[in-house]
Amino acid sequence: MTFSIVARCPTSFRLGVAVATAVPAVGSMCPFVRAGVGAVSTQSWVNPYLALDGLERLARGQSAPEALAAVMAQDDGRELRQIGMVDAMGRVAAWSGTECTPWFGHEVGDGFTVQGNMLTGPEVIAAMAAAYRASEGAPLDERLMRALEAGDAAGGDRRGRQSASLCVYSTEFYPALDVRVDEHAAPVAELRRVLEIARLQLVPFVDGMPRRGGSPGPAPAAVTAMLALPPPARPGGGGSGPA
C-alpha cells in the first residue's frame, strides 16, 4: 500500500524518510526518526511500535539489523508488516512479511533501504534505488525526493495516489525539514512543489531556531523580514498551489 525510502547521508550524517501511498496523511503514520539514532518507515498494516521500539533499541546501541530482528520477533503479525530501518552509523535492515499485499519487496543498499507493497511491480523499487544511487553527492532531502519521484514515475501504488511525505533530521530533536501532502491527486509532484518553497521559506527559519545547549538568539533579520511578507511576495511565491 506504500513505497518508501529510509536513508542516512554519509557526509552530513542526516537521517531521513520519504514515503508515498494511496491513503491520506502517510506522514502521520509511517515515518519515525530520532536525530543521531536512526530512521524507520513502518508500513503494510502499520505497527508504529515496531518503529518506536526499534529506535529505542538503536538508542541503546544495537545495530539496525539487530534492532529490527528483535522487534519483528515480538510481533505476532510480522508476516503482514513491512519495515525499513537505518541507524546512525548507516547500517540498514528491511523486512517484508510473506502476507504483504503483492507486489511487495525491498532493496537494501549502502546507507539506505527502499521498500513497498501493493505496487505495480518490482520496477518501482528498482527505480527508487537507482535514482538514489545516481544522486550521490546531492543533499539528503534531494536524494530522497528523487527516489520518491522515480518510484512514482515507475508506477507506484497500484491503487493510485493520495499522500506523500519527506522528513530529514540533523542534530536536533526536531526535524530540519518535514513536508507533507496529505490529500492530493498527484501527491509526489505536489510534494516537490512544497519542498522547493520550504527550502526558500522554511529552512532559513529552522536554521535560526534554538539548538539544544546553545544560546538562543534573535531570528536573523533577513528571515524575519521575509516571513513578514504575504506568502505570494516571498521567495518562491509560496501562495496556494493547485487543488
The number of distinct structural domains making up the chain is 1
pTM of the prediction?
Answer: 0.94
Q: How far apart are CA 106 and CA 88, in angstroms?
A: 20
C-alpha cell at 189: 509532484
Whether the CA torsion 202, 205, 207, 213 is positive or negative: it is negative
The reply to whether 84 falls in a domain is yes
CB-based contact 31:180 (threshold 8 Å):
no
Segments forming the whole domain that contains residue 46: 2-233
Taking only the tens of pLDDT, the chain with its 243 residues reads: 699 999 999 999 999 999 999 999 999 999 999 999 999 999 999 999 999 999 999 999 999 999 999 999 999 999 999 999 999 999 999 999 999 999 999 999 999 999 999 999 999 999 999 999 999 999 999 999 999 999 999 999 999 999 999 999 999 999 999 999 999 999 999 999 999 999 999 999 998 888 888 876 677 888 889 989 999 999 998 555 443
Query: What type of residue is 126?
Result: A
CA 188, 52, 2 angle in degrees (round to 5)? 25
- CATH number for the domain harbouring residue 226: 3.60.20.10
Q: How far apart are CA 18 and CA 110, in angstroms?
A: 17
- What distances in angstroms separate CA 34 from CA 15, 38, 49, 209, 233, one per listed residue? 8, 6, 14, 18, 35
The reply to whether 164 falls in a domain is yes
Residues in the chain: 243
Q: Which residues pair with 86 in a beta bridge?
A: 39, 92
